[in-house]
């Protein structure tokens, strides 16, 4: 369909065909394309890892202690309604235009997704499991590590999957902050010079890399939660 649309006169000037995008890819390989991909991956990785490290304990606290839920949940729910791109002007004022600002925007998108998933996982632990563990003499420490964490582990992996997608999808917005390299920056600069083939190339690369990341997390989820009963 893409190829057919690219040869229709009405679309020829605004939609380059696959050969033009392949040519742009080859030229990019000879230029800074791998650098742009590497920089984007680095930003997403740092933002996502920081989000995961902070979101998991916060999510467990919210799900396990009512006081933590009262403190954190209203703020998290409030900021979840704000698109990360809306934070960019304030982030620039506070953090400047360096790497920390870009990583913070990615972190915010991933954190808000992961923490809710972990929180829901803890809240949805079967109360029967908790009661059975108490009958067998488990204390609060045993309940948390031997019941709550294993039972909520599938939710954690779902949060990882969605959080990684959120981090990757926020990449372009983050790289609008005075970036010299990165796929988002590449798309933005190509838009300024009306280089549509490079814009499409950047979109395709973001989609393909994001898809591969998602497949990797899905594979890990299947390997680590094989014990979980699934509806056939």
pLDDT band at 204 (very low <50, low <70, confident <90, very high): very high
* Sign of the dihedral defined by the CA atoms of residues 188, 193, 195, 198, in that order: negative
Q: How far is CA 90 from its chain centroid?
A: 21
The pTM score is 0.84
Distances (CA, A) of 196 to 13, 16, 203: 9, 7, 11
Supply the pLDDT for residue 168: 87
Q: Is the dihedral of CA 43, 49, 54, 59 positive or negative?
A: positive
Q: Are 115 and 62 in contact (CB under 8 A)?
A: yes
The reported pLDDT for the residue numbered 208 is: 92
Rounded Cα distance, 98 and 179, in Å: 8
Give the residue-averaged pLDDT of 204-217: 90
Q: Give me the mean pLDDT over the 99-104 stretch.
A: 89
The CATH architecture assigned to 39-222 reads: Orthogonal Bundle (1.10)
**Chain-wide mean pLDDT for the chain?**
86
In this prediction, residues 30-47 reach a mean pLDDT of 91
Domain spans, the chain = 39-222
């Amino acid at each position: 369909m893409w190829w057919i649309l690219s040869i229709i006169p009405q679309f020829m000037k605004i939609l380059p065909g696959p050969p033009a995008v392949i040519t742009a890819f080859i030229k990019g390989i000879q230029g800074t394309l791998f650098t742009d991909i590497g920089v984007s991956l680095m930003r997403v990785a740092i933002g996502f890892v920081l989000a995961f490290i902070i979101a998991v304990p916060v999510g467990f606290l919210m799900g396990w202690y009512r006081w933590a839920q009262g403190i954190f949940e209203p703020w998290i729910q409030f900021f979840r309604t704000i698109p990360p791109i809306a934070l960019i002007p304030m982030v620039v004022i506070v953090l400047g235009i360096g790497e920390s600002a870009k990583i913070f925007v990615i972190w915010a998108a991933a954190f808000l997704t992961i923490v809710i998933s972990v929180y829901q996982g803890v809240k949805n632990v079967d109360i029967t499991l908790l009661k059975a563990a108490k009958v067998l003499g488990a204390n609060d420490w045993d309940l948390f590590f031997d019941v709550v964490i294993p039972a909520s582990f599938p939710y954690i992996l779902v949060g990882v999957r969605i959080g990684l997608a959120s981090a990757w999808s926020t990449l372009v917005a983050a790289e609008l902050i005075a970036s010299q390299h990165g796929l988002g920056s590449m798309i933005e600069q190509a838009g300024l010079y009306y280089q549509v083939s490079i814009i499409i190339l950047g979109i395709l690369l973001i989609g393909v890399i994001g898809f591969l990341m998602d497949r990797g997390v899905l594979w890990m989820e299947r390997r680590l939660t094989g014990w979980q009963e699934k509806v056939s």
